[in-house]
Every structure is written in structure tokens, then in C-alpha cells.
Amino acid sequence: MKDQNILVISAHAADFVWRCGGTIAKYINNGAKITLIVLSYGARGESGHLWKQGGHTTESVKKARKKEVDKAVDIIGIKNIEFWDYQDYPMDLNEERLNQLTKKIREVNPYHIISHGFGDAFNPDHQNVAKFVHQASVMAISKGVQIDGTSSIKQPRMFGFEPHQSEISNFNPEVIIDISDTFDTKLKAMESFQAQPHLIEYYSDKARMRGNHARRISGNQSYKYAEAFARFYPYVGDEFV
């Protein structure tokens, strides 16, 4: 993990923590370099608790969500973060924005890209971001795509978050990452997001469930908490791992 460049792309303010916070913290602890892009604050569709309080505007909700993200990234240890402030619900992922992401992928030159997977039954933003990230990654490796003098890169390894309603979204875990050593960090980061407090218990339970799967599949009884991902591409190597 040491010195690996990893690009994490989150559709909304808290997605990266719910779905990947423990894995990000684990990689940071082992010397990886994380770049996080938060495409939107989730002000329209993922800040219901704030709107119920009354007296909010879209801008005040955005400010509240940014404070939550800032607190969470400090807990996890993420140093490189960009807020692109797209509108959510729906998210307009046009050609200009596709070029913006392609350029960023080339600049970061990531070993891994981690973002949303293709299936999410209840959130079109997440599915659209998965397609958006995949298309930008393909453009980033294509020599004929000329963007602001950047150069093409090698194919990054790409992984998709587990969606919120896994079974309904036909999600099958293809990679399970042990986060036993970083679950407490993830929990503290999740507690930063009081705009969606109901998800803290939900994702704590999911981490325990995936930890159970990790123990059963691997036989390693030290695994207590885990996060699951889908692969964009098959594993390629000289042997089974």
C-alpha cells in the first residue's frame, strides 16, 4: 500500500465514509496517498434531517454538509480533497464535467480508483456516477484524447462501493477488505454526519456482517469488521490470490 496513489470519487458528501471509510483509513495508515473528490454536497437529496429542522436554504445546507465532511476527513486523515459542488438529484454529468474528471484522473495517475458501482436500485445519482467515472477512466488511458496537454495513463484498478440496499440492487461482493483495525476511525467519521444520523447504525451493522463473511470465507477469526466492493474488471495475475 505504501506510496500508492488512490483516487476516491464520492457522489455525495458522506458516501465515501459510509461505504469505504475503513478501507481509506487502512490505506492511509499504511502509507498510501488518497485524493478524494466530493462531486456534490447532497443538499437536495441526502440532507433530509437538516431540511426537517426548518429555516434552511440550499446554501446553508451545503455549508453544514461541508463542515461534516471536513470533520470526517480530519478523523480519517485525508489531506487531498476537492469539492466540485455539482447539483445532486439529479446530477448533470455533461461533457465538460467528463473532461474535468478525465484530466484529474490523469493528474493523480491512480493505482486504484474507488467509487460507486454500477447497480443502485434507489439512487440514480450513484449509478450515473459509476458510468461517469468509468467513462472518464477510459478516456484517461486513451492516447487520442487530448485534454489540456495531459498525457494518457495506464489502466487503473477500479472498485465499486457496496450500495445501500445490497440485495435489492443485486450486489454480490467480489472483494472484502478487513477493517477491524480502522473500524473505530470509521465510526467516529460516520458520527460527523448528523444530516443522516440513521445511517450510522446501519453501516455499523453492515461492517459487522461483512466481518462475519470475511471470517467464514477466509477462516481468519481476527476479522471483526469489513467493507465489500465490486470489481470493474477481473483480477489479472500470475497465480490465484
Report the chain's mean pLDDT, rounded to a whole number. Answer: 96
Mean pLDDT on 1-6: 91
Mean pLDDT on 15-36: 98
Supply the CATH number for residue 140's domain. 3.40.50.10320
Q: Tell me the three cell numbers of residue 115.
A: 467509487
Q: Does position 241 have pLDDT exceeding 80, yes or no?
A: no
The pLDDT of residue 163: 96
The pLDDT of residue 1: 84
Amino acid identity of residue 37, one-letter, is I
Residue 110 lies inside a defined structural domain of this protein? yes
- Domain total of the chain: 1
pTM of the model: 0.96
CA dist 120 and 103 (Å) reads: 26
Q: Does position 118 have pLDDT exceeding 80, yes or no?
A: yes
The pLDDT of residue 18: 98
Q: Does position 124 have pLDDT exceeding 80, yes or no?
A: yes
Residue 198 lies inside a defined structural domain of this protein? yes
- Taking only the tens place, the pLDDT of each residue in 57-66 is 999 999 999 9
- Taking only the tens place, the pLDDT of each residue in 173-183 is 999 999 999 99
- Taking only the tens place, the pLDDT of each residue in 149-179 is 899 999 999 999 999 999 999 999 999 999 9
Residue 241 lies inside a defined structural domain of this protein? no
The pLDDT of residue 149: 87
The pLDDT of residue 117: 96
The pLDDT of residue 240: 87
Residue 82 lies inside a defined structural domain of this protein? yes
Residue 238 lies inside a defined structural domain of this protein? no
Whole-number Cα distances in Å, 37 to 15, 126, 174, 220, 224: 11, 14, 24, 34, 29
Residue 239 lies inside a defined structural domain of this protein? no
- Taking only the tens place, the pLDDT of each residue in 70-114 is 999 999 999 999 999 999 999 999 999 999 999 999 999 999 999
Mean pLDDT on 32-37: 98
Cα first-last separation, the chain:
16
Q: Which of 18, 6, 8, 67 is nearest to 39 (CA)?
A: 8
Domain housing 72: 5-231
The pLDDT of residue 69: 98
The pLDDT of residue 193: 95
CA dist 213 and 178 (Å) reads: 10
Strand partners, 161: 116, 229
Residue 163 lies inside a defined structural domain of this protein? yes
Residue 79 lies inside a defined structural domain of this protein? yes
